Amino acid sequence: MGEAADPALAAVQTATAKGRVAPPMSWRTRLSVLAAGYVTDATSRADGTVNRRLLGVLDKGVAASAAPRNGVASRDVTIDPAVPLRARLFYPCAAPTAADAEAEAERPAAVPVVVFFHGGGFAYLSAASPAYDAACRRIARHAGAAVLSVDYRRSPEHRFPAAYDDGFAALRFLDDGGPDVPGPGAPPIDAARCFLAGDSAGGNIAHHVARRYALDPSAFSNLRLAGLIAIQPFFGGEERTPAELRLVGAPIVSVPRTDWMWRAFLPHGADRDHEASSPEGATAGIDAAAAAAAAGFFPPATVVIGGYDPLQDWQRRYCDALRGKGKEVRVLEYPDAIHAFYVFPEFPESRDLMLRIKEIVAGSSK
């Protein structure tokens, strides 16, 4: 990883080295968490590039499954062959029965859709990564919704705004009819009940896609955004926050890692006060004064914050920035949660978040 350039960070490292920077974990969970950090450190280069060959070995993707697993089937779809841009679609689907083979079963009611963006600092992981394949399957099962996990282009090969362009293209894809969901028991997708969701960098992408939608909702004929679920979204700035200084050594996230990720994603020459990373810059233009009637189309936001996440101060600033624009914000605080806690099912907070997502998505049917 790149070096930590801020002298204030180095000054507090010794003082905080013995502080508690993570909740108690089983040895299996601790190994999984350490492995996640190792993948990032082992494949990032000092010149700002990623060793994609090694990453492909360390993060070997899993295949989609047309056969339902725990009530959820999946398949890969192409959003835009010219990019190329793909996604993995998860959908609740009962296992076929003998009756289905003899007669066409009545098709179930349409389900909401969650357009999901995985984490990884804009540079790592994919829709096929085992952790995100499993997480999206759990979201689909708990929420009773289709999940379109977008395999957006990654940095540094594709910098800002490529990931945002890909997210917006996914919305247009759904607005134009979206993917076919074949097979008996497979529900159609209701694009009028669409949610944007993502964690870490994916939460940042979800916000910026929602912002684009809000600034030009007339571009969509069928799709309507019902909500935004930002799970520990990745925002930042040039200064070091109290949480970043206090939680040196926390799992998954570190200042050197996030500095490297911003350098790999932002335009050449830009700093972390750029509109992509700054909470204030990211929310510019969605207030009534700037966006007029379109301001009402920014969806209600749910922001998830963990007490052991070094990014938590930036996430709270993001919430404050949204509220300052008159937007509806609900905060879910998990005091004992590390960054990316929800991809580890053994954490009790992970199951609780799945239940909260279920409630949010169910609300769109009322």
Report yes or no: 211 and 294 within 8 Å, Cβ to Cβ.
no
Q: How many angstroms separate the CA atoms of 174 and 155, rounded?
A: 25
Residue 108 pLDDT:
77
- Please check whether residue 71 lies inside any domain of the structure: yes
**Cα end-to-end span (Å), the chain:** 48
CATH number of the CATH domain containing 43:
3.40.50.1820
What phi and psi, each to the nearest 5 degrees, are found at residue 97? -115, 175
Query: Is 339 designated active site?
Result: yes
DSSP state for residue 218 in the 8-state scheme: G
Residue 7 has pLDDT above 70, yes or no: no
**Residue 159 pLDDT > 90, yes or no?**
yes
pLDDT value for 287? 78
pLDDT band of residue 99 (cuts 50, 70, 90) is: low
How far apart CA 283 and CA 295 sit, in angstroms, is: 11
**251 CB-near residues (< 8 Å, 6+ apart):** 21, 22, 33, 34, 36, 37, 308, 338, 339
Number of domains in the chain: 1
Q: What integer pLDDT is reported at residue 238 of this predicted model? A: 97
Q: Name the average pLDDT for the chain.
A: 90
Q: Is residue 138 over pLDDT 50?
A: yes
Q: What pLDDT is stored for residue 18 in this prediction?
A: 43
Sign, CA dihedral 360-174-95-105, equals positive
Q: What is the pLDDT of residue 187?
A: 87
For 235-262, what is the mean pLDDT? 97
pLDDT tens for residues 185-203?
678 999 999 999 999 999 9
Residue 14 lies inside a defined structural domain of this protein: no
Residue 12 has pLDDT above 50, yes or no: no
Residue 42 has pLDDT above 70, yes or no: yes
- d(C-alpha 72, C-alpha 170), whole Å: 21
Higher pLDDT, 178 or 6: 178
Is the pLDDT at 5 greater than 80? The verdict is no
Bigger pLDDT: 8 vs 47? 47
Query: Is 155 designated active site?
Result: no
Per-position DSSP letters for 172-190, written without gaps between them: HHHHTT-----STTPPPEE
pLDDT digits (tens, 9 = 90+) for 290-302: 444 544 589 999 9
What pLDDT is recorded for position 185?
66
230-253 CB burial, b ≥16 within 10 A, e <16: bbbbbbbbeebbebbbbbbebbbb
Residue 173 domain-assigned?
yes
Distance CA 225, CA 227 (A): 6
Helix (H) or strand (E) holding 132: helix 130-143
- Name the pLDDT band for 175 (thresholds 50, 70, 90): very high
Domain limits at 190?
39-93+108-364
Rounded-to-integer distance, Cα 118 and Cα 108, Å: 28
The mean pLDDT value for 80-106 works out to 76
Confidence band for 218, pLDDT divided at 50, 70 and 90: confident
pLDDT at 15: 36
Q: Indicate if 274 belongs to the active site.
A: no
In a domain, 16, yes or no: no
The per-residue pLDDT for range 63-79, each reduced to its tens digit, is 999 999 999 999 999 99
Q: What is the pLDDT of residue 1?
A: 36
Residue at 12 is within a domain: no
Q: What is the spatial distance between Cα 120 and Cα 113, in angstroms, rounded to a whole number?
A: 22
- Asked if the structure places residue 54 within a domain, the reply is yes
* Catalytic residue, candidates 126, 129, 155, 200: 200
Confidence of residue 97 (pLDDT cuts 50, 70, 90): low
Residue 17 confidence (pLDDT): 42
Q: Which of 133, 166, 199, 309 is catalytic?
A: 309
Closest of 254, 251, 271 to residue 4, by C-alpha = 254
pLDDT at 100: 53
| Res 225: pLDDT | 97
Q: 17 in a domain, yes or no?
A: no
> Mind listing the pLDDT tens digit for each residue in 106-119?
667 899 999 999 99
pLDDT of amino acid 317: 98
Q: Which of 118, 142, 207, 339 is catalytic?
A: 339
4 has pLDDT over 60: no
Of 8-17, 54-63, 161-170, 311-320, the one with minimum mean pLDDT is: 8-17
Q: Is residue 215 part of a domain?
A: yes
